[in-house]
Amino acid sequence: MRALIVSYAFPPVGGAGVQRVLKLVKYLPSHGITPAVLTARDASVPLTDASLEAELPEGLEVIRARTFEPAYAAKQAAWKASASAEKSVTARWTREIVRLGRGLMLPDPQVLWLPAAELALAERLASAKPDDVVFISGPPFSQFLLGPLARLRRQTGLVLDYRDEWTTTGSVFEMSGSARAGAILEKAVLRSAHAVTTATEEFRSALLSRFSFLDPARVVTIPNGYDPADFPEGLPGPPSDHFVLCYAGTIFKLTSARSFLEALRRLHAREPQLAKLLEVRFLGRIVETEADAFEGSEKLGVKRLGYIDHDQALEQLSASHATMCILDDVPGAERIYPAKIFELMRLGKPCLAITPDGALANLVRKHQAGDVASPRDPDAIATVLERMLRDFRDGVPPKPGAVDIERYDRRVQAGEFARVFRMALGAARKRETHSDSVVTLGER
């Protein structure tokens, strides 16, 4: 079987969102499927990580289609301007222009990649060796609009993959377009899919409740996971003279650290000597609208290391006593768990999950991965931190790491995707056979 994996973001693009597709491409060949990748050339993204390219299978065909987007710095400046409260005439006009631009670029700015991507996909479908399955992973969800084109080849199966929810990204991600228009487009493209995969069971349930035409048997949950190869022997351990808590990932509206930082301030106010034992490391990008929350946090033991390569991030996480995963209490957060949580569980460190009740809280509790605290309750967060620090000071052994996580091995999940691909291909061929039979009977 030949599968074309369509993903706007692909190495050397970095960040957690790349991992799902990267690991899929890495392990699909062991399940009898030869992957190729259609991705953006010079993608307009904030992060790159060239080290990820070392994981690509030898001989992998990667088609890079040009995007007509502006550079990320220009998009970032526009987004910052739209969030500004400045009242000058220039600022108001800038906000209005950005608003109009967001309304035109539906469902997201990456729609400017589609002209070249459509041409590349059409050439693949018309080639002497067309792909058996086209798999499109979002966000960005504009690339789902390639789905109807893939369906023009009648023997090609189409699978749409939800790493996040279309509706949630429209409200919390940078530079997303109109949510109303997105909902209309989502319904249209879902009708073209032979199968759908989702990263959480909660995503799946929400899709089935919103779109009654979907066949539940063809909507399959395949969570994110961890790659055992990313965890070699000899990863560093934590220091003995102070306690390190580590967060890895982007800090933005969905993962706001404001309540955590307030909890730190309260901890330092009520237990200053104990709080001095704590060092908090943030690995990853902090968007402009969240940066103000970190002002003065260095005095609280906070270190901002910025984005670092994936391998280096795992070393930093391994060199901590505990890890942290954050979801703010915003609409849709109850159906999400960040992809990084699976690597945190594989590390075997206690994890502080600051999250509303829902998918992430349930996952952490199910696998006994650590503590759960509400994101809008700084006192509860401070209480958990205080207990961690007292246990460390008093020599209390840390709790064992997460249990029963083999389900999230990326090698296992590649096999699950392979089964979905075969199901989609079977559905495509069955529909073609049925269609041919109807035509023949009509002619007779």
Could you report the per-residue pLDDT of 159-184, keeping only the tens digit for each? 999 999 987 755 444 445 555 566 78
- Answer whether 211's CB lies under 8 Å from 190's CB: yes
In this prediction, residue 175 carries a pLDDT of 46
In a domain, 403, yes or no: no
- Answer whether 126's CB lies under 8 Å from 133's CB: no
Of the residues 366, 393, 420, the one at which a domain ends:
393
Cα–Cα distance measured from residue 210 to residue 60, given in angstroms and rounded to the nearest whole number: 37
Give the position of tokens 């080290």: 51
Question: Are 177 and 244 members of one domain?
Answer: no
Query: In 10 A of CB 442, how many CB atoms?
Result: 7
The per-residue pLDDT of the chain, averaged, comes to 89
Number of domains the chain contains: 2
In a domain, 108, yes or no: yes
Domain CATH code at residue 221: 3.40.50.2000
Question: Are 389 and 418 members of one domain?
Answer: no
Average pLDDT over residues 407-426: 97
Question: Are 113 and 248 members of one domain?
Answer: no
In a domain, 84, yes or no: no
Residue 367, classed as helix, strand or coil, is: coil
pLDDT band at 437 (very low <50, low <70, confident <90, very high): very low
Which has the closest alpha carbon to 351: 259, 264, 342?
A: 342
Question: Are 41 and 16 members of one domain?
Answer: yes
Question: Are 338 and 434 members of one domain?
Answer: no
In this prediction, residue 86 carries a pLDDT of 65
Question: Are 165 and 183 members of one domain?
Answer: yes
In a domain, 96, yes or no: no
The pLDDT > 70 percentage for the chain reads 86
Between the two ends of the chain, the Cα-to-Cα distance in Å is: 35
Question: Are 275 and 215 members of one domain?
Answer: no
In a domain, 278, yes or no: yes
Cα–Cα distance measured from residue 15 to residue 249, given in angstroms and rounded to the nearest whole number: 8
Cα–Cα distance measured from residue 122 to residue 103, given in angstroms and rounded to the nearest whole number: 28
Q: What would the two tokens of residue 203 be?
A: 């995503």
pLDDT band at 73 (very low <50, low <70, confident <90, very high): low
Average pLDDT over residues 38-56: 90
Task: Read off the pTM.
Answer: 0.86
Question: Are 353 and 416 members of one domain?
Answer: no
| Higher pLDDT among residues 95 and 308, named by residue | 308
Cα–Cα distance measured from residue 424 to residue 134, given in angstroms and rounded to the nearest whole number: 9
In this prediction, residue 14 carries a pLDDT of 87
In a domain, 28, yes or no: yes
Average pLDDT over residues 70-93: 60
The pLDDT > 90 percentage for the chain reads 75
Question: Are 363 and 425 members of one domain?
Answer: no
Question: Are 26 and 128 members of one domain?
Answer: yes
pLDDT band at 208 (very low <50, low <70, confident <90, very high): very high
Question: Are 386 and 337 members of one domain?
Answer: yes
Average pLDDT over residues 330-344: 93
Lowest mean pLDDT among 155-169, 293-307, 308-322, 382-396: 155-169
In a domain, 155, yes or no: yes
Question: Are 433 and 385 members of one domain?
Answer: no
pLDDT band at 154 (very low <50, low <70, confident <90, very high): confident
Cα–Cα distance measured from residue 422 to residue 407, given in angstroms and rounded to the nearest whole number: 21
143: containing domain: 2-75+102-225+410-443
Query: In 10 A of CB 332, how many CB atoms?
Result: 20
In a domain, 400, yes or no: no
In this prediction, residue 98 carries a pLDDT of 52
Phi, psi of 41 (to 5 degrees): -90, 130
pLDDT in tens, 377-413: 999 999 999 999 999 999 999 888 899 999 999 999 9
Lowest mean pLDDT among 217-226, 319-328, 402-411, 429-438: 429-438
Task: State which H helix or E strand residue 414 sits in.
Answer: helix 410-443
Average pLDDT over residues 186-194: 95
